[in-house]
Amino acid sequence: MRATPTTAPTLTPTGTRGTRVYFNDFEGSVGTEWQDGATSLSVRDQRRFLGGRFVAGPYSNTLVLEGLPLHSHVMVSFDLFLIGTWDGNNTTYGPDTWDLSVVGGPTLLHTTFSMFQGCYGSVFPQAYPDSYPGGSHPAFTGATEVGTLGNYVDCEDFSAVYRLEFSFLNSGTSLRLRFSSSGGQKVEDESWGVDNFEIRVFGDEPQDR
Protein backbone atom coordinates (compact mmCIF):
# COMPACT_ATOMS: atom_id res chain seq x y z
CA MET A 1 0.00 0.00 0.00
CA ARG A 2 1.34 3.44 -0.88
CA ALA A 3 1.42 5.74 2.14
CA THR A 4 -0.62 8.93 1.72
CA PRO A 5 0.55 11.77 3.99
CA THR A 6 -1.83 14.35 5.39
CA THR A 7 -1.55 17.89 4.02
CA ALA A 8 0.27 19.23 7.11
CA PRO A 9 1.76 18.00 10.38
CA THR A 10 -0.62 17.66 13.31
CA LEU A 11 0.33 19.70 16.38
CA THR A 12 -0.49 18.80 19.97
CA PRO A 13 0.25 20.58 23.28
CA THR A 14 3.10 18.11 23.91
CA GLY A 15 4.94 19.11 20.74
CA THR A 16 4.99 18.23 17.08
CA ARG A 17 3.43 14.91 16.17
CA GLY A 18 4.87 14.79 12.70
CA THR A 19 3.03 13.81 9.54
CA ARG A 20 0.66 10.86 9.64
CA VAL A 21 1.38 8.49 6.78
CA TYR A 22 -0.68 5.51 7.90
CA PHE A 23 -3.60 4.72 10.21
CA ASN A 24 -5.88 1.70 10.45
CA ASP A 25 -8.40 0.79 13.14
CA PHE A 26 -9.33 -2.35 11.15
CA GLU A 27 -13.03 -1.56 11.18
CA GLY A 28 -13.01 -1.63 7.38
CA SER A 29 -10.73 -3.09 4.76
CA VAL A 30 -7.32 -4.09 6.05
CA GLY A 31 -5.42 -3.81 2.78
CA THR A 32 -2.60 -5.75 1.18
CA GLU A 33 0.07 -3.91 3.17
CA TRP A 34 -0.32 -6.60 5.85
CA GLN A 35 1.05 -10.06 5.14
CA ASP A 36 -1.81 -11.56 7.16
CA GLY A 37 -4.92 -9.38 7.05
CA ALA A 38 -7.25 -11.56 9.12
CA THR A 39 -9.32 -9.78 11.77
CA SER A 40 -11.36 -10.75 14.83
CA LEU A 41 -13.92 -9.23 17.16
CA SER A 42 -13.32 -9.03 20.91
CA VAL A 43 -15.84 -11.10 22.84
CA ARG A 44 -17.03 -8.47 25.27
CA ASP A 45 -17.34 -5.22 23.30
CA GLN A 46 -16.98 -6.40 19.71
CA ARG A 47 -13.88 -4.34 18.94
CA ARG A 48 -12.46 -5.37 15.59
CA PHE A 49 -8.70 -5.83 15.57
CA LEU A 50 -6.07 -7.22 13.26
CA GLY A 51 -5.15 -10.67 14.39
CA GLY A 52 -7.63 -13.35 13.58
CA ARG A 53 -6.41 -14.51 16.99
CA PHE A 54 -2.74 -14.72 15.94
CA VAL A 55 -1.26 -17.73 17.71
CA ALA A 56 1.36 -16.83 20.30
CA GLY A 57 4.13 -18.68 18.59
CA PRO A 58 5.96 -19.25 16.58
CA TYR A 59 4.18 -16.73 14.35
CA SER A 60 5.07 -13.56 12.43
CA ASN A 61 3.25 -10.89 10.44
CA THR A 62 4.76 -8.10 8.35
CA LEU A 63 3.57 -4.60 7.45
CA VAL A 64 5.00 -3.05 4.26
CA LEU A 65 4.58 0.64 3.42
CA GLU A 66 5.99 2.30 0.30
CA GLY A 67 6.16 5.85 -1.01
CA LEU A 68 7.00 7.53 2.29
CA PRO A 69 7.70 11.28 2.10
CA LEU A 70 11.10 12.75 2.95
CA HIS A 71 11.85 12.16 6.64
CA SER A 72 14.56 11.25 9.15
CA HIS A 73 12.57 9.59 11.95
CA VAL A 74 9.54 7.32 12.22
CA MET A 75 7.10 6.93 15.12
CA VAL A 76 4.95 3.79 15.38
CA SER A 77 2.08 3.53 17.89
CA PHE A 78 -0.65 0.93 18.36
CA ASP A 79 -2.68 -1.11 20.84
CA LEU A 80 -1.37 -4.63 21.44
CA PHE A 81 -4.13 -7.09 22.34
CA LEU A 82 -3.01 -10.12 24.39
CA ILE A 83 -5.42 -12.98 24.93
CA GLY A 84 -5.15 -16.20 26.90
CA THR A 85 -2.66 -17.83 29.22
CA TRP A 86 0.58 -16.01 28.38
CA ASP A 87 3.25 -17.38 30.73
CA GLY A 88 5.74 -14.52 30.79
CA ASN A 89 9.23 -15.49 31.96
CA ASN A 90 8.20 -18.95 33.18
CA THR A 91 10.60 -21.48 31.66
CA THR A 92 8.34 -24.52 32.11
CA TYR A 93 5.44 -23.25 29.98
CA GLY A 94 7.29 -20.42 28.26
CA PRO A 95 8.95 -18.04 28.04
CA ASP A 96 6.27 -16.41 25.88
CA THR A 97 8.06 -13.72 23.90
CA TRP A 98 6.74 -10.95 21.63
CA ASP A 99 8.88 -8.96 19.21
CA LEU A 100 8.66 -5.92 16.96
CA SER A 101 11.53 -5.18 14.59
CA VAL A 102 12.33 -3.08 11.55
CA VAL A 103 13.30 -5.38 8.69
CA GLY A 104 16.92 -4.54 7.99
CA GLY A 105 16.99 -2.30 11.06
CA PRO A 106 16.66 -2.31 14.85
CA THR A 107 14.62 -4.52 17.13
CA LEU A 108 12.16 -2.18 18.82
CA LEU A 109 10.87 -4.64 21.41
CA HIS A 110 11.83 -8.13 22.54
CA THR A 111 9.97 -8.97 25.73
CA THR A 112 7.58 -11.33 27.51
CA PHE A 113 4.06 -10.80 28.82
CA SER A 114 2.27 -12.66 31.60
CA MET A 115 -1.46 -13.14 32.11
CA PHE A 116 -1.01 -15.28 35.20
CA GLN A 117 -1.76 -13.54 38.49
CA GLY A 118 -3.68 -15.76 40.87
CA CYS A 119 -5.57 -17.99 38.47
CA TYR A 120 -4.79 -21.68 39.01
CA GLY A 121 -2.69 -20.57 42.00
CA SER A 122 0.13 -19.40 39.71
CA VAL A 123 1.95 -16.09 39.61
CA PHE A 124 4.31 -15.74 36.63
CA PRO A 125 6.42 -12.59 36.15
CA GLN A 126 6.94 -10.82 32.83
CA ALA A 127 9.86 -8.88 31.36
CA TYR A 128 7.80 -5.95 29.99
CA PRO A 129 8.38 -3.00 30.17
CA ASP A 130 11.99 -4.20 30.02
CA SER A 131 13.57 -6.35 27.36
CA TYR A 132 13.72 -10.10 27.91
CA PRO A 133 15.53 -11.53 29.83
CA GLY A 134 16.37 -8.33 31.67
CA GLY A 135 13.10 -7.66 33.53
CA SER A 136 10.92 -9.37 36.11
CA HIS A 137 7.62 -7.60 36.81
CA PRO A 138 4.13 -8.63 37.96
CA ALA A 139 1.66 -9.82 35.36
CA PHE A 140 -0.12 -7.00 33.47
CA THR A 141 2.53 -4.40 34.38
CA GLY A 142 2.07 -1.41 32.07
CA ALA A 143 -1.27 -2.54 30.65
CA THR A 144 -3.84 0.16 29.86
CA GLU A 145 -6.69 -2.38 30.11
CA VAL A 146 -6.98 -5.69 31.96
CA GLY A 147 -9.81 -8.17 31.49
CA THR A 148 -11.77 -5.99 29.04
CA LEU A 149 -11.74 -8.06 25.86
CA GLY A 150 -13.89 -10.97 26.98
CA ASN A 151 -13.96 -14.24 28.85
CA TYR A 152 -11.47 -16.32 26.88
CA VAL A 153 -10.69 -18.98 29.52
CA ASP A 154 -12.61 -20.77 32.24
CA CYS A 155 -10.93 -19.30 35.33
CA GLU A 156 -10.95 -15.55 34.71
CA ASP A 157 -10.68 -13.11 31.84
CA PHE A 158 -7.13 -13.53 30.57
CA SER A 159 -6.86 -10.45 28.35
CA ALA A 160 -4.98 -7.17 28.35
CA VAL A 161 -4.35 -4.17 26.12
CA TYR A 162 -0.97 -2.43 25.98
CA ARG A 163 -0.50 0.96 24.31
CA LEU A 164 2.93 0.83 22.66
CA GLU A 165 4.89 3.62 20.97
CA PHE A 166 8.36 3.61 19.39
CA SER A 167 10.46 6.13 17.49
CA PHE A 168 13.58 5.34 15.49
CA LEU A 169 15.91 6.69 12.81
CA ASN A 170 14.68 5.97 9.30
CA SER A 171 14.94 7.87 6.02
CA GLY A 172 13.91 5.28 3.43
CA THR A 173 11.00 5.60 1.04
CA SER A 174 9.74 2.19 2.21
CA LEU A 175 9.26 0.66 5.64
CA ARG A 176 8.88 -2.96 6.69
CA LEU A 177 7.87 -3.87 10.24
CA ARG A 178 7.85 -7.46 11.46
CA PHE A 179 5.75 -8.59 14.43
CA SER A 180 6.49 -12.01 15.86
CA SER A 181 5.94 -14.22 18.87
CA SER A 182 7.36 -17.50 20.11
CA GLY A 183 7.03 -19.99 22.94
CA GLY A 184 3.27 -19.99 22.84
CA GLN A 185 0.68 -22.72 22.64
CA LYS A 186 -2.32 -23.32 20.40
CA VAL A 187 -4.43 -20.32 19.42
CA GLU A 188 -7.21 -21.26 21.88
CA ASP A 189 -4.74 -20.78 24.75
CA GLU A 190 -2.51 -17.85 23.74
CA SER A 191 -2.94 -15.30 20.98
CA TRP A 192 -2.49 -11.63 20.12
CA GLY A 193 -3.53 -8.86 17.76
CA VAL A 194 -3.11 -5.12 17.11
CA ASP A 195 -5.50 -2.18 16.81
CA ASN A 196 -5.46 1.58 16.18
CA PHE A 197 -2.21 1.33 14.26
CA GLU A 198 -0.55 4.62 13.34
CA ILE A 199 2.73 5.63 11.69
CA ARG A 200 4.06 9.20 11.60
CA VAL A 201 7.23 10.54 10.04
CA PHE A 202 9.37 13.47 11.17
CA GLY A 203 11.96 15.69 9.57
CA ASP A 204 13.74 15.93 12.91
CA GLU A 205 13.74 13.87 16.07
CA PRO A 206 10.26 13.88 17.72
CA GLN A 207 10.10 16.60 20.34
CA ASP A 208 7.69 14.84 22.70
CA ARG A 209 9.81 11.75 23.32
For the chain, give the mean pLDDT: 82
| Residue 147: CATH number of its domain | 2.60.120
175 in a structural domain: yes
Domain residues for the domain of 106 are 21-202
35 in a domain, yes or no?
A: yes
* Average pLDDT value for residue range 7-35: 72
How many domains does one find in the chain? 1
Asked whether residue 3 is assigned to any structural domain, the reply reads no
Looking from the CA of 207 toward its CB, the CA atoms found within 13 Å total 10
Residue 208 in domain? no
Please give the pLDDT value at position 54. Answer: 59
64 exposure class (CB count in 10 Å sphere: 0-12, 13-18, 19+): middle
- The alpha carbon of residue 26 and the mean position of all alpha carbons in its chain are separated, in whole angstroms, by 14
pLDDT beyond 70 at 156: no
In a domain, 16, yes or no: no
Q: Which of 142, 161, 158 is nearest to 150 (CA)?
A: 158
Examine residue 157 and state whether it is found in any structural domain, yes or no.
yes
In a domain, 120, yes or no: yes
Does a structural domain hold residue 14?
A: no
**pLDDT classification of 70: cutoffs 50, 70, 90:** very high
